[in-house]
Amino acid sequence: MLFTHRSSQRLFATLLLAACGTVQAAPEPAGNVATAALPGTISATTSATSSTATGSLTDPIMNLLGERGLLRPLGSSALVESVRNSVRDTASDLVMQAMNFLGVPYRRGGNTEETGFDCSGFTRLVFENSVGLVLPRRADEQAHAAGLLNINRQELKPGDLVFFNTMKRTFSHVGIYVGDDKFIHSPRTGSEVRIEDMRDSYWSRRFTGARRADLSAATPQLQTTR
Q: What 3-state class would DSSP assign to 89?
A: helix
How far is it, in rounded angstroms, from Cα 88 to Cα 20? 6
- Cβ(211)–Cβ(151) under 8 Å? yes
Q: Which residue, 28, 155, 21, 35, is CA-closest to 92?
A: 35
Active site residue ranges = 119, 173, 185
How distant is the alpha carbon of residue 200 from its chain centre? 17
How far is it, in rounded angstroms, from Cα 192 to Cα 113? 11
- Cβ(119)–Cβ(187) under 8 Å? yes
CA distances, 132 to each of 106, 135, 173, 223 (Å): 23, 10, 22, 11
What is the pairing mode between strands 182-185 and 194-197? antiparallel
- Cβ(143)–Cβ(163) under 8 Å? yes
- Cβ(78)–Cβ(25) under 8 Å? no
Residue 173, strand partner residues = 164
